[in-house]
Every structure is written in C-alpha cells, then in structure tokens.
Structure 1
C-alpha cells in the first residue's frame, strides 16, 4: 500500500512517514496543495492523508481533485482544529474519514481498514496507552499560535485569549516525555 501525506508541518509529516514505513506502508510527502496534486498525479497513491489547514490553503479543496485522479483512493482529512462543521463538509466533499491531530499510526491504520482491534476492550486499552497528554496538546496548540503570529508572544497570547505573562510561563514549562499508563 502506498500513500500521500499532505501536511505543511514537515516535522509531523516526516515522523508519520517513518512510523508508517515501519508498518510496511510506503508514503510520499507534499507540503502544500499544488505539490500534493502534482505528486498524486505521478504517484497515484492508494490513500491520502490531508491536513485541513495547509498554510493559506484548505485541505478541503484537495478532496475532489484527488478523488477525480483515482476514484478508489481513500482520503482521510486530519486537523488540529476539529469541528462538526468541517467534519460534515469534508464528508460531503468525498473524504472517507476525519481524524483529529495528532492522529496516531494505529488510528490511521484502523481508518484505512488495515488494522482492527480484537475486542472493544483492546480498543479502549490501546487508546489509553497512546493518548496524548493535555500538556503536550496545549504545547502544540501554543506552538501553532506562535507560528501563525511569526513568534510574536503578545499577538499569540491575544490569539489564544490569555495574558502575555501567562503564555510566557507556559512556554518556560516545556512538557516532558509522554508516559504510559501503569496499573498498580
């Protein structure tokens, strides 16, 4: 199986590409809408994982052209800004699934129909083992706000609806490594 990862966050895309390669899935990366369509035309992937927000572009605009290139292509829309409105819009346009970011490899494989848990209990346990801590999600959200404001802490604080000093304190507390759930 081969796929196309469309995301303007190159670090996230490369990390996901390596993780999928360990599962035997070959992928190509496109960092914007134009290069995504060009890569899809030459590569003809089995699936496309498309970020909703691609800089100034929207991943929603890629769904129909990708579907036109290959009708059986599975199209998964991923976003850090999940909402009911964009989920409905993506499905109306032809996406096969809508996943919140950061989407884990098991979640992606399940969405593609490549991996299914043996029982609902396994699914719950897998989610508990792989859930991203709130501190990490908050950190990533802050980093995205900083990127959008080109590193301006005051503007990022306004965008996030918090005081500048509060944001500075949060930035000083970089979250630690993720921990696994341990039953005692």
Structure 2
C-alpha cells in the first residue's frame, strides 16, 4: 500500500508540473548564456548548477547526477553528446535536452539514441527548455515542416557521415572524397535553412 501511495503522490506531482527532484545541470561554453539560462530555470523552480565544458560537466555528474540537464552540443573541450552519454550512464532516469546552434538531423538522432528527450536550436528561451524537459520523447514529427533545401540535405549528409566516423575529420573527409581542410569549414557553419 505504501508503494501505491508513493507512486500516486509522484504521479500527482508530475501531472501538476512538479517532480520531486528538480536538480538541473546547464552545460554551455558561453558563460553569460549559461548563467542567464540557469537563473531563468531557477526562477521556474529548478535547482540549477552550471558547467562550461565537458570536464566540469562530467565532474558535476559524478558528484551528484542531476534529474535534468540542458547541454550545448559543441563545447570547447569536446561534444555535449559525451556529457549526455555520461549522464544517462550515471542516472538513467534523467531527462536531458541538447541545445545547439548547429542543428543537424544526424546529431539529433544520435542525441535521442543517447537518451536526450529533445533537441532545441539556439536561441531557445527558458520556456522552450522547460517545455522540452517536461514533455515526452521526440516521437511526433512537427507539423507543417517545409521540405529541406538542397544545401540542407547536403549538410545533413555530411553530419551523418561525420557522426558515423565518430567525429573523425580525416576519415569523414576521406569517405566524402573531400579535402581535409574543407570539412572543418563546413562543420563550423550553422545548418542551412
């Protein structure tokens, strides 16, 4: 009976928009954005901590794995996907969102496979982040999405190969029959519309 009562109180609190553990880790290499988002999330009831690189994030996860995380995809010392992987290994019930200015379908698919609940393009405000953290998985496609441009399709293909090559620039360039110096310039650009 205690088990049912605790389950019921958890369900009620979740349906009311509250969870028992509102710990949150915000990981972004832009210190101003990271601090601003953490403050905005704290104002919405989360207990927010910040990290500005992969090593800080991994240390925070090891010390006290959060229930929620907002993780930038590209960090100065690595990939946000590595942070997501570590978080899910340490706390499988956590809910994470990958946040980036370099949106790509291949990376979004990888993020979801690693356990991310959503994938938001920058700039995303705190309300978007809360909605993503509190919603279900990405299993319903957005309605009325326009078809991708040829540039976007090419960019997505390059991103897919890059992820398949485990982010190895030389191997990706070889598989795409592209000069090795050209690929980093393409990867550094934002996704075409």
Shorter-normalised TM-score: what interval? Answer: 0.5 to 0.7
The reply on whether 1:113 has 2:134 as its aligned counterpart is: yes
Secondary structure in 2 matching 1:81: coil
Residue correspondence of structure 1 range 1-184 to structure 2 within 5 A: 1-113=22-134
Cα distance in 1 between the residues matched to 2:57 and 2:109: 23
Identify the range of structure 1 (41-50 vs 68-77) with the bigger mean alpha-carbon deviation.
41-50
Displacement of 1:113:
1.5
Cα distance in 2 between the residues matched to 1:15 and 1:36: 17
Cα distance in 2 between the residues matched to 1:85 and 1:44: 27
Cα distance in 2 between the residues matched to 1:108 and 1:6: 13
Displacement of 1:20:
1.1
Which residue of the partner structure matches residue 182 of structure 1?
none
Cα distance in 1 between the residues matched to 2:39 and 2:81: 25
Cα distance in 2 between the residues matched to 1:30 and 1:104: 18
Cα distance in 2 between the residues matched to 1:25 and 1:33: 21
Cα distance in 1 between the residues matched to 2:59 and 2:131: 27
Secondary structure in 2 matching 1:8: coil
Question: Is the 8 Å Cα contact of residues 84 and 116 (structure 2) preserved in structure 1?
Answer: yes
Question: Is the 8 Å Cα contact of residues 65 and 87 (structure 2) preserved in structure 1?
Answer: no
Q: TM-score, normalised by structure 1?
A: 0.59
* Runs (4+) off by over 3 Å: none
Secondary structure in 2 matching 1:96: strand
Displacement of 1:43:
2.4
Q: How many residues align structurally?
A: 117
Displacement of 1:101:
1.0
Secondary structure in 2 matching 1:39: helix
Stretches of structure 2 lacking an aligned partner (at least 5 in a row): 1-21, 136-187
Cα distance in 2 between the residues matched to 1:65 and 1:21: 23
* CA-atom RMSD in angstroms: 1.8
Q: TM-score, normalised by structure 2?
A: 0.57
